[in-house]
Structure 1
Amino acid sequence: MTQPLLEVEDLHVEFRTRDGVAKVLNGVSYHVSAGETLAVLGESGSGKSVTAQTIMGILDMPPAFITKGTIKFRGEDLLEKSADERREVRGEGIAMIFQDALSALNPVFTVGFQIEEQLKVRRGMSKADARKRAVELLDQVKIPNAKGRISDYPHQFSGGMRQRAMIAMSLALDPELLIADEPTTALDVTVQAQIMDLLAEIQKERDMGMILITHDLGVVADVADRISVMYAGRIVEHADVYELFRAPGHPYTESLLESLPRLDLKGQELKTIKGLPPSLTNIPPGCPFNPRCPRAFDRCVSEVPAVHNLGMGRTSRCHIAEEVVARG
């Protein structure tokens, strides 16, 4: 087996605020290889985006503190590198599509300028060559009349077109690994499908690794190879996409799948997960999901579940993981 592109191991991050210490990541571990798509699932506040930002090196100053763990890219620990060395990895090694393209793009510069700038600074291209490459990138992400639209500002693009422009910016330096943080947020279903198809097509062409951060199980089913499910800053389940949908190994994953709308349940009330995710400044003892878990028992309240190996690279942080899988 070849070495993964990225290996995150036992990553801990906390935010030290006036209201207390928020333990945002509590031992996150996952990996992704070239040509592979890892989906990271979970409710808002579970730590998905914080993990991505830590990997990118844009979350390394107060009030955020990385207290433990390693982030290895091609075998080298990024946390041991200087700020300048991390900057060299960003863009060419690892790139990121941010959640809200309208916020991520600078409103006072044209879309073309924002793509060209990194090509001139990082690749030493002339203005003419950078403009030509920027047009090619916009054309690659299927923006109609790329040559004419390159001088437009972000507000002149539709939501789907802005997201395509963000993808073009992320691909400009030919990254080996792409982190897509909620790339289809606030887009209609048709545009969502187009964006995901586009990412899959580009990934196949470049043999690029991809981490897809989302809360949309429907998107995940079509594009992911493996899934890591997060809750309260922990990976509670990790599995092959087919195995996870066939038989979830954690009550939280089980509850997420049960909350999906299904055609065969037409007219029935949609199931929901009761309660709210815990405050990260006051995570409950034992399993953090226990206040909302329909299967919780005494041990869940008093003891943090260990990682259970369920075989074939599948793991679950649940005291009764084998029982949950068997019932699935």
Structure 2
Amino acid sequence: MTRYVVIGAGAVGLALAARLHLAEIPVALVARGASLDVVARDGVRYTDPTGTRAVAVPVADRAGTRLAPDDVLVLTVKAQQADDALGEWAWQPVHDPADPHALAADLPVLVLQNGLATEAQALRRFATVLSASILVPAQSLEPGAVAVAAADPAAVLSIGLAPDGTDARVDALVADLQRAGIAAHSTDDVLPWKALKLLGNVNNAVELLGGSDEERKALSRELTAEARTVLEEAGLEPADGAERDEAVGRIRIQPTEGWEPGRASTFQSVARGASSVETDYLNGEIVLLGRLHEVPTPLNAALQRVVGASFARGEAPGTVTVADVRAVAAR
């Protein structure tokens, strides 16, 4: 029977591991530091619109995780951490009596990172890479605790093989996720779904800026328009989200203890005191494509620059402003 080895105990990792365990689907969570200690002692504290429960997800660190031939790796770390994590895991032994040379690189790996970079990083090492665009209103600001502001479904995933195609492994994953209360569908071309999510992700760092709500909303609209122009010029036409809504349903945000709007993944990283943020793989992805295809990206480049420098200086959210981004874009 397939076991899902969920690598990373942030919001996405905790939410997926808890939902799979609640559905009695074999799962193991890989965590470290305070998250490992808390989950090992108390379980995952999983809160959704129906309430809070402790979910006794099996957990270990990488050294304590014994891989088996039927495992599927699920990489949930942030985009800027993915390449290091893939390198650490690919050459770990798989305990297969039939193949003493088996390694984790022989196992399927599902990558759930924002942006467009992780699939190529994974394919350098793993023969079978499953790629997904995930929508999940999950927030984790304390070790071992996650609040998900939706219950039916808790998340929505579009899943396919990287670089393209689908197969029985994708179908099996979709079926397991659906059993776990997650709306999922397979696609033989996952890249447009990744591009669609990136249109929203380019606004993640806007939550870190000072300024009025109207100033942030206006900047977000312009960032998205600039990103769409670049994606289309690069031949990456974003998917139509209405098609997914019709096929598998959409997330309905509901009041949930511990969950607040305006706290996307970049905000959560800063609030937790993370050592890096994913802006280089979100706005930076648009900047990269713009440079490759000779399309100007002044706003995405300015946001990447301003937030990156502010984070390097150790500044609190709100220190740099929308006006700072516009000033840099106008240089």
Same fold, TM exceeding 0.5? no
TM normalised by structure 2 equals 0.33
Larger RCO, structures 1/2 (Cα 8 Å, 6+ apart): 1
Q: Which has the higher helix share?
A: 2
Indicate the structure (1 or 2) with the bigger Cα radius of gyration.
1
